[in-house]
Amino acid sequence: MTMNRLFYRIVRLLNVLTLLLCGLALVDFLLHPLAGDFNFNSILFRAILILVITPLTLGIGFVIIRRVPGNVVGPLLILWSGTIAYNSLRVGIGPVLFALFNFYDILFGWLALFLMLLHFPDGAIYPPGLTPWIYRYLGIILLMTCLICLSTATFLVPGGMVNPFYLPALEKLAEWILRGGVVFFSPMLVMALVSPALRYRKGSQLERQQIKWLALFGGFSVIYVLIYLIAYPLLTGGEVMNPGYNFSAMMFYLTTFLFPPLAIGVAVLRYRLWDIDVIIRKTLVYGALTLTLAVVYLGSVLLLQALMLAVTGQGRSPIATVISTLAIAALFTPLRRRIQNDIDRRFYRQKYDARRIAEEFASVPATRWSWMC
């Protein structure tokens, strides 16, 4: 078995853990829909993460797995969705469950993001000669990261929450372990930036166009960091790299979480890296369905809570959550059919228009429209 196949199977096994954690985060949200997340204490931010961005990322990942078997980009995208679900947690979920999500985020979530850059778009590391060394190097990074997690007594956010898996024996080595983790992880970050550049120089025209989309979204992220996380605090006297728990900080997190699925999705839709018909329909249908059900669910919970407060004097009642859950369960199938019919009708109309435009381009000399590619 090649190193690529072994790595692919390991990531697929980790996807099972990802689905369990995402499901747990979703259940916790349905049981406590009016609780805020641990970062911003925002109901809306938490709802967008767990009801919109997490399903979107999972959906694109599963479509890639189905359409391109053996390409590790899809499973890595699913691993990244676990980090999104982690940031939707509420403080009251408890230290044990919070620690499990936190360890997953540090061990697999962010590492999966950088590994996607190394494997995009064909699922293989570039340059190929570094493949066995990088996979062995991952083992060292995971070991150092585990030691960092076990040597942390309390979590930075939310402040004061105790790590239930903390090992006091590692307390004296905690600072050295953290420094070692930074030293070992830094080359991975450099490789994630250098590999797409090397692939762009040596790749085909198709791969170059796909990598441009990654560079475009990456450029937006860099600009956002420079403006909101560095320039903004310096000009206002705030702490550097922390603009505060405000709208700009939440938008930065949302932009970061949307970066992988949007960058890969746009590359697929624009340059047909994979079969795009299913991606378009499924993403639009379930994205619109999830957003609609989220609005209905939150609206019904707020309305029923207000009614309960007026009638019984108790604002928080499990009855409101149960009724709202039953309502969206009843609406799921008919609403999905309605949205799917509307999108299919528009999709096939646009597909016909796109075919007609492509035929017109084919009849024009290449020198007149090659600048558009």
Chain segment 290-349, per-residue pLDDT in tens:
777 777 777 787 787 778 777 776 656 677 777 877 887 788 788 878 877 777 776 555
Mean pLDDT of 239-243: 51
| pLDDT at residue 276, as a whole number | 44
Q: Which domain holds residue 316?
A: 276-364
| pLDDT at residue 243, as a whole number | 47
Asked whether residue 41 is assigned to any structural domain, the reply reads yes
Asked whether residue 242 is assigned to any structural domain, the reply reads no
In this structure, the answer to whether residues 196 and 282 fall within a common structural domain is no
- Per-residue pLDDT band at 53 (split at 50, 70, 90): very high
Q: What are the C-alpha distances in Å from 261 to residues 5, 238, 302, 318, 341? A: 23, 32, 31, 35, 25
- Per-residue pLDDT band at 32 (split at 50, 70, 90): very high
Is the pLDDT at 367 greater than 70, yes or no? no
Mean pLDDT of 49-78: 89
Is the pLDDT at 223 greater than 50, yes or no? yes
In this structure, the answer to whether residues 304 and 186 fall within a common structural domain is no
In this structure, the answer to whether residues 8 and 137 fall within a common structural domain is yes
Q: What are the C-alpha distances in Å from 255 to residues 84, 114, 218, 225, 342? A: 11, 16, 10, 11, 29
Percentage above 90 pLDDT, the chain: 23
CA atoms within 13 A on the CB side of 202: 8
The answer, yes or no, to whether the previous bond of 75 is cis (omega within 30 of 0) is no
Cα(306)–Cα(156) distance, integer angstroms:
35
In this structure, the answer to whether residues 16 and 123 fall within a common structural domain is yes
Report the C-alpha dihedral over residues 275, 281, 282, 288, rounded to 10 degrees: 150
Model pTM score? 0.72
| pLDDT at residue 353, as a whole number | 46
Q: What are the C-alpha distances in Å from 318 to residues 44, 133, 167, 202? A: 20, 53, 38, 59
Which of 176, 203, 230 terminates a domain? The answer is 203
Kindly provide the b/e burial profile for residues 155-177, where b requires at least 16 CB atoms within 10 angstroms of the residue's own CB: beeeeebebeebeeebeeebeeb
Asked whether residue 267 is assigned to any structural domain, the reply reads no
Residue with the bigger pLDDT between 234 and 214: it is 214
| pLDDT at residue 70, as a whole number | 84
Residue 289 φ then ψ, to 5°: -65, -45
Give me the number of domains the chain comprises: 2
Among 20-34, 125-139, 220-234, 327-341, the range of highest mean pLDDT:
20-34
Asked whether residue 342 is assigned to any structural domain, the reply reads yes
Residue with the bigger pLDDT between 6 and 239: it is 6
- Per-residue pLDDT band at 54 (split at 50, 70, 90): very high
In this structure, the answer to whether residues 180 and 296 fall within a common structural domain is no
Q: 162 with 153: CB under 8 angstroms?
A: yes
| pLDDT at residue 341, as a whole number | 78
Residue with the bigger pLDDT between 49 and 272: it is 49
Is the pLDDT at 228 greater than 60, yes or no? yes
Which of 180, 203, 226 terminates a domain? The answer is 203
Cα(76)–Cα(198) distance, integer angstroms:
21
Location of structure tokens 């406590």: 32
Residue with the bigger pLDDT between 372 and 116: it is 116
Span 186-209, pLDDT tens digits: 888 888 888 888 888 887 777 777
Which of 175, 203, 231 terminates a domain? The answer is 203
In this structure, the answer to whether residues 280 and 184 fall within a common structural domain is no
Span 154-194, pLDDT tens digits: 887 777 788 999 999 888 888 888 888 888 888 888 888 88
- What one-letter code names the amino acid at 372? M
Cα(343)–Cα(41) distance, integer angstroms:
35
| pLDDT at residue 107, as a whole number | 92
Is the pLDDT at 148 greater than 80, yes or no? yes
Q: What are the C-alpha distances in Å from 170 to residues 43, 117, 334? A: 37, 33, 56
Is the pLDDT at 67 greater than 70, yes or no? yes
Question: What's the token pair of residue 270?
Answer: 């624009």
- Per-residue pLDDT band at 267 (split at 50, 70, 90): confident
- What one-letter code names the amino acid at 86? Y
Mean pLDDT of 261-282: 62
Q: Is 27 exposed, middle or buried (0-12, 13-18, 19+ CB in 10 A)?
A: exposed
- Per-residue pLDDT band at 215 (split at 50, 70, 90): confident
